[in-house]
Structure 1
Amino acid sequence: MNPTQPISVAQQKSELRKHLRQIRRSLTPAQQQAASQRLLNTLLTLPAYQNSQHVAVYIAADGEIDTRHFVEDAWRKGKNIYLPVVDPQGSKTLTFLPWQEDTVMINNKYGIPEPDSSLYQTRLASGLDLVLLPLTGFDEAGKRMGMGGGYYDRTFAFVSGKEKKAPQPQLIGLAHECQKAGNIPSESWDIPLTGVATDQRFYASLTTDSN
């Protein structure tokens, strides 16, 4: 490649993604445990969580900030918790199935546990109140960077642009504070977030209504 040729957005994101994944994977189990508890403290302050009944989360992998303390709090409060399930038909979208302590789980193609789709009823993405999604990186404006597969962008494309229809789930990215970058390159298909919650604070998005 010509060294004077501008770096594309995709290349910028790929290089930054690799760097930030290395940072979060370097955290010790003790640091991960402490971060998970502090993340709950951040989320407890948010009206988006306080007022929600149907909440989607994820099971942490690859150094992602763990949602376990949050999930246990939500179960105690009688909230309905859901996990994303990768569409087996190859559409690169997500469906959402209920998650409880006794839910029968199977590993998806990435080795991540998810509810057995043959046993539980799907909840539409538009029927969720709050979606907590994993991030590889974020910036103070609330822009996000995922793993690059585009699953969440495709699934929640209906929340962006002129096609907005009520009701809509609030989308909050979760990350370690150390995953913050100066500026996340954005592309037209990136879904807007309500904000980003970390183990230190909440960053309201500058492009969406964070109420």
Structure 2
Amino acid sequence: MHPLNRWWLRRRHGAGEWAALLQAAPAGTWVSLDLETTGMDPARDHILSLAAVPVRDGKVWLSERFERRVHTGRRFGIESIRYHYITPDEASAGEPITDVVRDFLHWLDGRRLLGYYIGFDLDMLAPHVRALTGFDLPNPVIDLGDEVAACQRRRRPDGPVKLDFDHITTTLGIPAIARHSALGDAVTVGLCWLALQRKGWPAD
């Protein structure tokens, strides 16, 4: 979000419920975010689970995680279940999406968001964020894939860019934790980000 837009939002909402969300992002702190959804179309698919973990001081702080299952109220198919292993019965036991997003925004405050292809996650969250706050999510965003691509291009400007998640984790020496679960993917992305910051992208 442009600094002028953030300033305007602070002027308008700085004394309200979302004041903390509009504060400047603290240095050296990120929040690794991941969603599991019924599909890949933000216009018609729904969030099934949301997880996020703080990343700071060279660690992923699992003890401070935010993790919720979401009640969709909609049916979804076997292909979706094969991907994230969340059944309709489990989804029906989740919480309403409005409650989950409200709690997440209060937990998040102004911290930077981190993710892998995080634009999709933000597109899924966007209508719920706007419905609650009246504005788009103001937090700075870092995409792991974009950072890896930039590192690869610096090392080999004419070489291919490889952004497959398994390739990233293997190259950085990070185990993929509970793949295709929101919490597992959020933790893995956080660990990859720390490895990338610490040693950069390894030479071929």
TM-score bracket, shorter-length normalisation: under 0.3
Structure whose residues are more often helix by fraction: 2
